[in-house]
Structure 1
Amino acid sequence: MTAQVQSQSSYDVIVVGSGAGAMTSALFAADQGLSVLIVEKSDKYGGTSAISGGGIWIPNNHYFAAIGGRDSAELSMQYLKAATGEHGDPVRLQAYLDNAAPMIKKLTSNSRVRYAVADKYPDYYPQLPGALPGGRTLDPELFDTSLLEEELPNLRKPSPSTLLMGRIAWTARDAHKAMARSFGWQWLIFRLMARYKLDFKWRRKSKYDRRAALGSSLVASLRRSLMDRNVPLWLNTDFQDVLLDGDRVCGIKVATGGRILELKARRGVIFGSGGFEQNQTLREKFLPQPTKASWSATPPGNNTGAALEAGLNIGAATALMDWAWWAPTIAVPGEEKPRGVFAERAFPGAIVVNSLGHRYVNEAAPYLEFVDAMYKDNRKTDGRTVPSWVIFDGHFRFHYAMGPLMPAQVMPDSRLRKEWLNTVYWKADSLDQLAMQIGVDGAGLSNTVSKVNQYAKTGVDLDFGRGGNVFDRYYGDSNITPNPCLAPMRKGPYYAMRLDAGDIGTKGGLLTNRHAQVVREDGRPISGLYAIGNCSASVMGTSYPGAGGTLGPAMTFGYIAANHIASSVPVAASTAPEAVS
């Protein structure tokens, strides 16, 4: 990297961050003949994208159309307007819808990125007009990581929770089949494990699968595509500030290798560096309380809000600063970050309660709405809902996963790490004993369990409607009737696990226009500065329309930014700032 720094300090486009949106913008800029540099604060590339599911929410996409799916721009806009409500900007929403489908078609045609349609993955708000029961979410195909060659060690490793047995890659479609225990799921698991075991040559190099899936696949395929184009990616390069030529952003200042460097951007700077969820000071300033960076399921030490603060310093407007992409999390000792709890909340036989022993939300609800409900109930109960507790019995424990606990039929309690007892999970022979251990009101918990057991018999959750829509049922057990998301809890031992009010990134940030340009309070763009992904205020407002509602817009507005930069009139050449120590 030192040789690169010494030989070149001026580029057409500089991209800050190396997640999916950042790398997509770099790729499209490079394909239009622009010289591009990507700078990444961490010693690994991929950011939060690499540890995500990698899905992208792309309305009216060509994959769905190819299998006979019916969607349209009009139907998609109807749904988005209903989902985003007063927080939706029709101009930005239109820009998203106009560009999302062309973006993924061009990306998959001209790079190594490959997707498949998740035709059974419903939109998150099936009750809203324009919602579809599947087809708008795309799922990354597996990618052979040996193609990364010398860049493989620098790829951020996926979260253990996204891998089968903590090391085997599988697509979201495969994971759904196994979790919903659909026909053939056991044969699927056997086939995946056999594929991994028989790859003897690769397993001598690494305990992890040769193949990448989910967000790891997306990031790996994007990085290989950028390698094909000779686009440099500098690691351990910490963005410090923007450089200005009058009111125009003309470059960035970075710290790397013990030096401060000033790098010129002739055409534009694209912020794709994530939100501020790892900055405790900013969390306390903007987000609902209580809040902790340690609850976030994002990489510690990254996403500290540097781009946000740089934008604020030059007069950028912001929006949605009190929102995050909420997701409940479970902390696991020894792991660098907590695990998000996404699908497991829909499995039948587990409930979530506050310290009064009361349910307060449909456990199968989308994760953003789940934590939003957690905070609302916390205010209502004077601080008795953050944290919450997920409770389940021995039957659930045997058949289903919860956080780091694989089903007991594969991972019995005797095989769990001893230090997890009373830190990751609590266990007792009766509900009263369990309630006492975790500080939950025993009578309240007992009454709640009795009520839910009755709901399981009738199949109707009279309190919160769990399992009453197609989204809830997506991760329910297809073998359970009359409601795949409800089962009685009556077989000891009983278990509890703590749920924190976590997130997978912040939602608020720099306000942008339809070209992804950062704007001032009066709406005027800051020339030369673009923002995409979680460092920008989400086009989705306070909603989460479907799986991939973070990465889909990040990549789409990365595409929009690259196109806008390429079509702009080049700034007259000037002497590039020299590196200073």
Structure 2
Amino acid sequence: MAQGETFDVVVVGSGAAGAMAALRAADLGLTVLIVEKAHKFGGTSATSGGVMWIPNHRLDGDKGDSREATLTYLDSIIGKPVNRDRLEAFVDEAPKMLRFLKDSGVAVMAAAWPDYFPDKPGARADRSVIVPTFDGRELGDGRYALMREQYNRFKLFGRYAMDLTETFALMMQSKGWRTVAARMIGRYWKDRSTRKVSHRDRRFTQGAALMGATYKQVFARGVELRMETMLEALEVDATGRVFGVEVSNFGRRYRIGARHGVVLAAGGFEWNQALRDRFYPVPGLTRHSSTPEDGNRGEALIAAEKIGASTEHTEQGWWIPTMTLPMPKASNFHEIHQAAFDVGRPWSVVVNRNGVRFCDEACGYDQFGQAMVEDHLKTGANMPCWLIFDAKFRKKFSAGGLMPTVHTAESKVPADWWDHYVFRADTIEELCRKTHLPVEAVSQTVANMNGYAKTGIDPEFGRGMNPYDQMFGDPVSTPNPNIGPIDTPPYYAVPINNGDLGTKGGLRCDARARVLDQSGTPIAGLYAAGNNSGTPFGDVYPGAGATIGPGMTFGYVAANDIAERSGNQRA
């Protein structure tokens, strides 16, 4: 086996957690190598919404958030035992990480996004932080096209990049949305210099903006990035200290030394069916995940377990409802589409296979997935569930990958979709026969929803009766923006799977991001961050960005600890 070189720090994985660990370590004077098994860098983070949940950030001055308010909120929603020191470390270090990111040259701004449990004490609507649009060409033409590209669902017509403001304008068909679309299209085609380099929009938005802006600073500090380089094993000395990694590149295996630390930031295990079967009470299928296909297979978790590492919170994913459709122009292949907000729109309802509701459909997407799991354990009639909607919904909203008629008219829907991926009928009774749902139960559920639409009150689950639900409702629908009568044929149904944004659980770590062995002792030289580690929040998703925020925070914490132990820390 070939012998490799040595760096101060080796980071495994190029997503947000790994990028932050590399940025901070390099800024503190350490030599850093990032290894990434994929052909593109940026990880799952680059395909995401790019939101960071950072409580008490004070970007806009002191507006009342505090350490105490944050912990009050978290204590009110976390439903299982967690490492208190680690939870408090996140609350304390997240604002410091964000200030460092900003000071390093990455623009950040607070977003008006309600916490996912808005009725709980300490909840706020300003803890989610985003990065504004970034010019991808600033990475250099050699890297601009090599950062992982966002999914079609984050682009208009699968081509034109959308920021969050544009996304909501188009999604809600709000006033002036056609002008917004025309401006986006015109801007793209006028950029002739970029079209000579790549089809990709030079406007990096959402997760691409976060990762593009961060990697500009990572590369500016001399960090080396090697793609197509997969972790095979962790190198351990006689004392049990991790001192390097064994990697492979197109079958060639070699070793890379790490003088001061290895940071595992290679994502979760959602694409490893064996690990799903081992950890999840309702395993689900890998192909329902909305993360990059076959990307996060848990190799780093497995490598760490082989040297004695322990795990935590592995029984749950970061759930999100998804649906499946054939890929355009390649019908033998399938594409996964998120339906995070679609399931809570007016003129629709979600039922299990018994034809009854099981949750507030407009709740946070992770709560929706937890409700699917709970209902399936109780009834065996979930996974998938069904989104049922009428022609009014069809005209205005997407249903996973089925775009509204203003985008995809009935005549433009591929013939192989009807009654296999998307079901359509002139009556609820006929729709039930096609989907094998019980007619009487579904008819009663629809009748109930039509009654709730008149009063604006959902006595079963409170749909549309809190700020989070209402943010993604439609003000046209009154008196409740999330409930409207399901009474205009034709009627439609699509199966909804319990997809994910990654895994909640992973390697058990302490407050300094050090990986712990089975006895709770830190494994010297080994750190983990992001979905490679267990979430500090246990079983909940506190708000938008609660995956990336802690991932970057503990990447930052890991780099600080490594630098301190190396004696090279400058700040």
Structures share fold, TM-score greater than 0.5: yes
Which of 350, 361, 364 matches 2:362? 364
Counterpart contact for 1:180–1:474, Cα < 8 Å:
no
- State the distance in 1 between where 2:76 and 2:517 align: 27
- Which residue does the alignment assign to 1:230? 222
Counterpart contact for 1:81–1:88, Cα < 8 Å:
no
2:527 partner SS: strand
1:456 partner SS: helix
C-alpha change, 1:476 and 1:422, in structure 2 (3 Å) is same
- State the distance in 2 between where 1:277 and 1:337 align: 16
Quick check: 1:137 aligned with 2:137? no
Which letter maps to 1:353? V
1:336 Cα offset (Å): 6.0
Unpaired segments of 5 or more residues in structure 2?
328-332
Which letter maps to 2:371? A
Quick check: 1:353 aligned with 2:344? no
- State the distance in 1 between where 2:283 and 2:103 align: 46
Counterpart contact for 2:324–2:334, Cα < 8 Å:
no
Counterpart contact for 1:139–1:171, Cα < 8 Å:
no
Bigger Cα displacement from structure 2, 513-522 vs 262-271:
513-522
- Which residue does the alignment assign to 1:105? 99
Counterpart contact for 1:299–1:337, Cα < 8 Å:
no
- Which residue does the alignment assign to 2:455? 458
Bigger Cα displacement from structure 2, 226-235 vs 454-463:
226-235
- Which residue does the alignment assign to 1:412? 409
- Which residue does the alignment assign to 1:83? 77
Bigger Cα displacement from structure 2, 218-227 vs 502-511:
218-227
- Which residue does the alignment assign to 2:89? 95
CA deviation string 1:424-464 (max 9, x = no partner): 31111111111111111111111111100110110011111
CA deviation string 1:223-276 (max 9, x = no partner): 222221221111111101100112100011111133211110000000000111
1:28 Cα offset (Å): 0.6
- Which residue does the alignment assign to 1:576? none
- Which residue does the alignment assign to 1:577? none
Counterpart contact for 1:323–1:508, Cα < 8 Å:
yes
Q: How do 1:271-290 and structure 2 match up within 5 A?
A: 271-290=264-283
Counterpart contact for 1:253–1:260, Cα < 8 Å:
yes
- Which residue does the alignment assign to 2:6? 10
- Which residue does the alignment assign to 2:138? 147
Quick check: 1:448 aligned with 2:445? yes
Quick check: 1:61 aligned with 2:57? yes
Q: What value does the CA root-mean-square deviation take over the aligned residues?
A: 1.8
TM-score by length of 2: 0.94
Counterpart contact for 1:329–1:340, Cα < 8 Å:
yes
- State the distance in 2 between where 1:435 and 1:294 align: 26
Counterpart contact for 1:299–1:336, Cα < 8 Å:
no
- State the distance in 2 between where 1:282 and 1:174 align: 38
Q: How do 1:84-233 and structure 2 match up within 5 A?
A: 84-111=78-105, 113-119=106-112, 121-132=113-124, 134-148=125-139, 149-182=141-174, 184-203=176-195, 205-233=197-225
Bigger Cα displacement from structure 2, 508-517 vs 253-262:
253-262
- State the distance in 2 between where 1:492 and 1:326 align: 31
- State the distance in 2 between where 1:167 and 1:458 align: 42
- State the distance in 2 between where 1:500 and 1:390 align: 10
1:337 Cα offset (Å): 4.6
1:116 Cα offset (Å): 1.9
Which of 240, 249, 257 matches 2:242? 249
- State the distance in 1 between where 2:485 and 2:60 align: 38
Bigger Cα displacement from structure 2, 31-40 vs 170-179:
170-179
- State the distance in 2 between where 1:178 and 1:485 align: 18
How many residue pairs end up in the alignment?
A: 560
Counterpart contact for 1:426–1:497, Cα < 8 Å:
yes
- State the distance in 2 between where 1:549 and 1:56 align: 6
- State the distance in 2 between where 1:449 and 1:200 align: 51
CA deviation string 1:372-393 (max 9, x = no partner): 1111111222x21111111111
- State the distance in 2 between where 1:55 and 1:564 align: 25
Bigger Cα displacement from structure 2, 165-174 vs 285-294:
165-174
- Which residue does the alignment assign to 2:308? 315
1:150 Cα offset (Å): 0.4
- Which residue does the alignment assign to 1:379? 377
Unpaired segments of 5 or more residues in structure 1?
572-581
Which letter maps to 2:425? A
- State the distance in 2 between where 1:207 and 1:430 align: 44
- State the distance in 2 between where 1:32 and 1:290 align: 42
- State the distance in 2 between where 1:184 and 1:100 align: 37
C-alpha change, 1:337 and 1:273, in structure 2 (3 Å) is farther
- State the distance in 1 between where 2:495 and 2:397 align: 17
- Which residue does the alignment assign to 1:574? none
- State the distance in 1 between where 2:390 and 2:362 align: 18
- State the distance in 2 between where 1:405 and 1:541 align: 34
C-alpha change, 1:542 and 1:64, in structure 2 (3 Å) is farther
- State the distance in 2 between where 1:380 and 1:329 align: 21
1:328 Cα offset (Å): 1.2
Counterpart contact for 1:515–1:564, Cα < 8 Å:
yes
C-alpha change, 1:337 and 1:38, in structure 2 (3 Å) is farther
Identity, in percent, stands at 40
Counterpart contact for 1:179–1:475, Cα < 8 Å:
no
Quick check: 1:294 aligned with 2:292? no
Bigger Cα displacement from structure 2, 446-455 vs 431-440:
431-440
C-alpha change, 1:457 and 1:194, in structure 2 (3 Å) is farther
1:404 partner SS: coil
